[in-house]
Structure formats: structure tokens, C-alpha cells
Amino acid sequence: MEAGEISPEILQRDSVQRSEEWRTYLLFIVFALFLTALIAPYRSIHLPQTILFLLGVAFLLMCMKFSIEEYERLMLLFCVFAPFQKVLPGDFNEFLQGFNVTNIFAFFLLLGWAIQTLRFEKNFYRRRAIDIPLAVFCLLGVVSLFRRELYSGEQTMIDSLFYLKEWLLPMIIYYIVVNNLRDRKTLVRLIVSVCITTTLVGLLGLKRFYMDKGAWSHPHFSSYDKARIGVICGQPNQLGAFFCYYSFLPLAFLAMRWRKPVYWSLLIPFFVCWRTTWLTFSRGSQIAFGGALTIFILMWSRKVFFFVWVPIVLFFIFCPHLIPGILVGRMANTVQSDGTLDDSSQSRLAVWKYAIVMIKANLLFGVGYGNFQLHISDYGLPPSVRGIDAHNTYLLYAAEMGTPAALLFILVLFMCFWKALYTLIWSKDNFFRATSLGFLAGLMGLIIANMFGSRLNSNEVVFQFWIIVAVIMRMAESTRVEKAERIELADQEHKRKLAQMASVAPLPE
């Protein structure tokens, strides 16, 4: 073989790898489109029991095969399915309690974790930075849940266990994914799948508003409640939070490759998600989206932030009448003509005030998970105040699980922020840096959105968040190793130059 030629074996191996890569992407794209097509008509699809049984068996066999032979594909399929798990529970007409697609995925993910450990003779578990704080937070949540059952006794033990499983499952998914990400290829596929599903949900939101609700031909609604959309969540505020968490990932890949024209096409999914966020008419989500965009620009380019973004914001602050109506939305109705806040805002302020009283009275262990609404009136909240949800995740955690649990959760978010920032600063991998940038913006969106509501209690919204957290942890590990290798190589090069200089230095007379 002549110098410079590539061997047939290498060419064949590369061809096989490319073919396998396309098959994998085709698999989860088709799966995502299939799920989208099922909910696009917005009506239930009823199948005969026999067909459901056969589909269930086929699904079980597929999950078994993937858990043994192609575990990465099982994680990918779950990541694609996660946002649709509420509208497509797949409970097979309630054939068996707890027998649904989400639980089946969870079972085989756990089983596959054990199988992969034995198959590749690797460690079952390796501790990461957030693992202990997150585990203690989960433990306090478990204690809080059983304290609720101890005092209220409203549910059977089986019901309580299913409730506990639903709350813990997103964190369990984090532990599964972070310990089974074996290569960069799977990491990339997971992030791409999040981008694809987020875009498809955005398109479904536009369809729901402009076609199903008829806003294209009749753009005026008698109330915001009739215009709002929920799509995968059934609740507009949750859908708005969903887009705040994930919309900035495709924009981050554009930011890292903006000199290449092909990447400008990524503006399409971003604007689809941005527009759908506004169509939820969720004020908290609009504020969170703006905060996330601000952090995104700051982390991406200081010049753009100070010389473009800040002047634009200041201009609209001093000239609010020039803000386009499409950017204002429901925010314009927050302050009434007489200068007072609307009823929704006033009720939230009242709930926050008495939630703080509840927290002070139950500082360490809270009142029990799920007991906020049952007991908030005992701490002075007037019965006339409508909407007794806490409307703030941090106050809710502190009130129900205790201040230590709330502080632990905030610590976990801070550590996630730090790991992503570390990767963004030190990694030489553009994909790692883009993912970290998109995650940092989404994390800021999550932090802000949860100041105005409980936006972490819907698994269709948070499953992918914990998957991305697992990706960030692995990227930070890889970046740390890469940075240490660069420092070691630089030290070796420095020593080599010093030795070379010493060897050619003139001898003293």
C-alpha cells in the first residue's frame, strides 16, 4: 500500500459506523414523528384489547433486546418519549395498575444498567459532584411524603408508593444516564434528541393555536384562558416552562458556528419555540425566557451583551410604549388602570406572604409533602384568596419538606450551573461548549420560572432536564481530564525547552 492511501478495512469500518449512525438517528426521528402524529388530532385513539396486548408484547420484547444489546438506543427512545408521557401514557386501557410505557421504560433502564455492568465489567456506580446533595434531598422528600401519609392517611400504602415513584423517577433517571454514558456519540445523540422533540412540541403548539383554535382566521379571543395552549402538559404554564428549559440548545449551536451559513437554519426551531412560549400567555414563562436569553447572550459574547443587548433593553425600559404588542402579551394586564395589580398577582403575593409564615413555623421538616394546600389557611391565608398553590417551587419545598431540603435543592442547581460554566470555559470541544451554553440559559430559565410557579412537578417537563444534567456531569469530567492532559503536555514542553536552552548555553570562563 502506498503512503497516504487508506486501507479498505478502515474505509469499511467508517462506512459501517456512518450506516449505524444514520440508522440510530432515523430510529428516534421516526419515533418522535410517530408520537407527534398520535397527539396531533387532539383526540383519543381507542384500539381493541387484542391489538393493545400484541403491541404491549412487541414493546416489551424491543425493550428487552435494547437493554441487553443496544442500551444506548433504549436511553434515546426514552429521551424522545419523555415529553409525551402525559398525553400518551400507554397504559393499555388500564390493563394493570402501574403498567404503562413510562414504567416499562424505567424498569428496563434499571435492568439494562445491571446487565451492562456485568457485560462490560465496569463499575455499577461512580459518584459525581451532585450525587450526595441530590440523594439527601430525595431522602428528605421521602421522609416528607411519609409524614404526610402519617398525619392525613388519605391514601393507601400502594397509592403512596406510586406517588413516591412518580416524584423520584426524574432523579433516578439522572443516576441511570450518568452512569451509562460510555462515549461521546451517545452524549451527542441525547442532546440532538432533546432539540428535535422540543422543536416538534413547538410546532404542535403553533398548530394548536392557529389551526385547532382557529386563531389564523379569528385572532381575537374573549379571554386569555380560551387562547392559552398546553399541548403536552395540559397546563399552559408548564408548557411555557418546558420551552424555557430547552429552547436555547439549538440556538447555542448556532452561536458556536455562526460563521457557517448552514447553522443559521437553527433560528427556525428557536423562533418556533419562542413563539409557542408566548402563546401560552404565561407571564412567569415570558419573564423566565427573557432572563434565559439575557444569560445566553452574556455567556456567549460580552461585546454583543454590552453594546447590543443592554442598549435595546434600556431603550424599551425608557420607551415602553414602543414595545411591540407581540412581546408584551399578557404582561400588559398585570397592572390595572387604577395602578393596582390584577387578581392573579395579588393572590400570589398573599400566598407567598403566608407561605413564609408556614416555613417559619415548620423550619426543619415542613408540613409534609403535598400538604401545603391543606394547611396554608391555618397560617392566616384568607379563604377568599383563589388559587392556593404555592406558585413558587422554593417556598413550596421549604414549606413541605423543610428549609434544609430547599437549600439542598438550590445547592444542586448551583453545582449544575458551575459544572456547565466550567465546561464552557475550559473545553476545546465545540459541541461540549454549545451544550453547556444552551444548558446555562435553560437553567436560568428554570430558576426564574420556578419563582412564579411549581414547574418541576410534571415529569413530562423535567425528565429531559435531568438527562441533560447527566450529560453536563459527564462533559465536565471529560473536560477536567482534557484540561489536566493539556497542562501536563505544556509542562513537558516547557521542561523540554529549558533542557534545550541549558544544552546550548555557553560554558562560563
Q: How confident is the model over 42-95, as pLDDT tens digits?
A: 555 666 777 777 877 888 899 899 998 889 989 999 999 999 998 888 776 666
Q: Mean pLDDT across the chain, nearest whole number?
A: 84
Domain contains 373: no
Domain contains 120: yes
Average of per-residue pLDDT across 238-258:
94
Q: How confident is the model over 264-298, as pLDDT tens digits?
A: 999 999 999 999 998 888 888 999 999 999 999 99
Domain contains 331: no
According to the model, what pLDDT value does residue 16 have? 57
For 221-230, 332-341, 427-436, which range has the lowest pLDDT when averaged over its residues?
A: 332-341
Domain contains 112: yes
Coil, helix or strand at residue 370:
coil
Closest by CA to 43, choosing from 88, 82, 81, is 88
Average of per-residue pLDDT across 17-33:
80
> What span, in angstroms and rounded, lies between the C-alpha atoms of 441 and 447?
10
Maximum separation of any 2 CA atoms in the chain, in Å = 101
> What span, in angstroms and rounded, lies between the C-alpha atoms of 169 and 222?
40
> What span, in angstroms and rounded, lies between the C-alpha atoms of 350 and 391?
11
pLDDT category of residue 165 using cuts at 50, 70 and 90: confident
Residue 306 has pLDDT above 90, yes or no: yes
> For the CA atoms of the chain, what is the radius of gyration?
26
Closest by CA to 248, choosing from 443, 71, 380, 97, is 443
Tell me the percentage of the chain whose pLDDT exceeds 70: 83
Query: Which residue range(s) make up the domain with 219?
Result: 14-300+402-489
Burial track 272-301 (b if 16+ CB lie within 10 A, e otherwise): bbbbbbbbbbbbbbbbbbebbbbbbbbbbe
CB count within 10 Å of CB 73 equals 19
According to DSSP, the residues that pair with 335 across neighbouring strands are 341
Tell me the percentage of the chain whose pLDDT exceeds 90: 42
> What span, in angstroms and rounded, lies between the C-alpha atoms of 333 and 240?
18
Domain contains 352: no
For 129-143, 254-268, 359-373, 402-416, which range has the lowest pLDDT when averaged over its residues?
A: 359-373
- DSSP symbol at 341: B
- Give the H/E segment covering residue 501: helix 459-504
> What span, in angstroms and rounded, lies between the C-alpha atoms of 296 and 316?
19
The CA-based angle 381-382-383, given to 5 degrees, is 115
What is the number of domains present in the chain? Answer: 1
According to the model, what pLDDT value does residue 1 have? 46
> What span, in angstroms and rounded, lies between the C-alpha atoms of 330 and 452?
15
According to the model, what pLDDT value does residue 381 have? 77
Domain contains 504: no
Domain contains 317: no
- Cell numbers describing residue 489: 503536555
According to the model, what pLDDT value does residue 330 have? 64
Domain contains 152: yes
Q: What are phi and psi of 321, to 5 degrees?
A: -70, -15
- Cell numbers describing residue 5: 492511501
List C-alpha distances in Å: 458 to 99, 119, 232, 401: 19, 34, 11, 18
